[in-house]
Amino acid sequence: MATVDESDPDTPEAYAALVDRSEKLTNVQMASMVLGWDQRVMMPEGGTPARAGQLSTLSSLGHELLVDDDVGAWLERLEATDLTDDQAAVVRELRRRYDRAVDVPADLVEELTAHQAQTQQVWQEAKAEDDFDHFAPALEELIDLHRERAAAIDPTENPYRVLYEDGLPYLPLETVERIFTELREHLVPLIERIQTEGRELPSPFEGHTYDEATQMALSQEAVDLLGYEREHGRLDTAPHPFMSGNQFDARITTRFREDDPIDALTATIHEFGHATYQLGLPKDEYGTPLGASLSSGVHESQSRFWENHVGRTKPFWEFFLPTLKEHFPHLEDVTVEEAYAAVNRIYPDNLIRVEADELTYHLHIILRCEIDRAFVEGDLDVADIPQVWNDKMDEYLGIRPETDTDGCLQDTHWSYGFAGFQGYTVGSVLAAQLDAAMREDLADVDARIREGEFDPLREWMTEHVHRHGQRYPTEELIEVATGEPLTAEYFLEYVDEKFTDLYDL
The set of residues, in sequence order, having a beta carbon less than 8 Å from that of 349 and lying 6+ positions away, is 397, 398, 399
- C-alpha 242/C-alpha 9 separation (Å) is 44
Distances (CA, A) of 62 to 23, 245, 289, 469: 11, 17, 15, 21
Positive or negative: CA dihedral 307, 412, 279, 227: negative
Which phi-psi region, left, alpha or beta, contains residue 452 (left: φ > 0; alpha: ψ -120 to 50)?
Answer: left
Residue of 100, 147, 234, 312 interacting with its own copies (CB under 8 A): 234
Does 470 interact with its own copies (rule: CB under 8 A)? no
Does 34 interact with its own copies (rule: CB under 8 A)? yes
Does 50 interact with its own copies (rule: CB under 8 A)? yes
Q: How far is the CB of 416 from its own copies (least distance, A)?
A: 19
Give 63 or 353: the residue with its C-beta nearer to its own copies.
63
Residue of 9, 46, 207, 329 interacting with its own copies (CB under 8 A): 46
Give one DSSP letter per residue of 213-254, joined into a string: HHHHHHHHHHHHHHT--GGG--EEE-SS--EEEETTEEEEEE
Residue range at the interface with its own copies (CB under 8 A); choices 57-65, 80-88, 147-155, 258-266: 57-65
Residue range at the interface with its own copies (CB under 8 A); choices 10-18, 135-143, 248-256, 382-390: 248-256
Number of chain residues interacting with its own copies (CB under 8 A): 44
Residue of 9, 44, 207, 329 interacting with its own copies (CB under 8 A): 44
Give 50 or 225: the residue with its C-beta nearer to its own copies.
50
Does 42 interact with its own copies (rule: CB under 8 A)? yes
Q: Which residues are catalytic?
A: 271
Give 23 or 357: the residue with its C-beta nearer to its own copies.
23
Does 120 interact with its own copies (rule: CB under 8 A)? no
Q: How far is the CB of 56 from its own copies (least distance, A)?
A: 7
Does 278 interact with its own copies (rule: CB under 8 A)? no
Does 114 interact with its own copies (rule: CB under 8 A)? no
- C-alpha 130/C-alpha 404 separation (Å) is 6
Nearest residue to 465 via CA among 232, 297, 237: 297
By DSSP bridging, strand 243-246 and strand 249-254 are antiparallel
Give one DSSP letter per residue of 259-276, joined into a string: TBHHHHHHHHHHHHHHHH
Residue of 16, 17, 40, 48 interacting with its own copies (CB under 8 A): 48
Does 174 interact with its own copies (rule: CB under 8 A)? no
Backbone phi, then psi, for 69, in 5-degree steps?
-55, -35
Binding to its own copies by CB under 8 A, coded x per residue (else -) over 60-99, reads xx--------------------------------------
- C-alpha 471/C-alpha 291 separation (Å) is 9
Buried b (16+ CB within 10 A) or exposed e, 84-114: eebbebbbbbbbbbbebbbebeeebbbbbbb
Residue range at the interface with its own copies (CB under 8 A); choices 47-55, 135-143, 442-450, 486-494: 47-55
Does 283 interact with its own copies (rule: CB under 8 A)? yes
3-class DSSP assignment, residue 416 = coil
- C-alpha 441/C-alpha 28 separation (Å) is 39
Distances (CA, A) of 403 to 92, 130, 479: 46, 6, 43
Give 37 or 328: the residue with its C-beta nearer to its own copies.
37
Residue of 22, 247, 253, 344 interacting with its own copies (CB under 8 A): 247
Residues that bind its own copies (CB under 8 A): 1, 23-24, 26-28, 30-32, 34-35, 38, 42-51, 53-54, 56-58, 60-61, 229-234, 245-249, 251, 283, 286-287
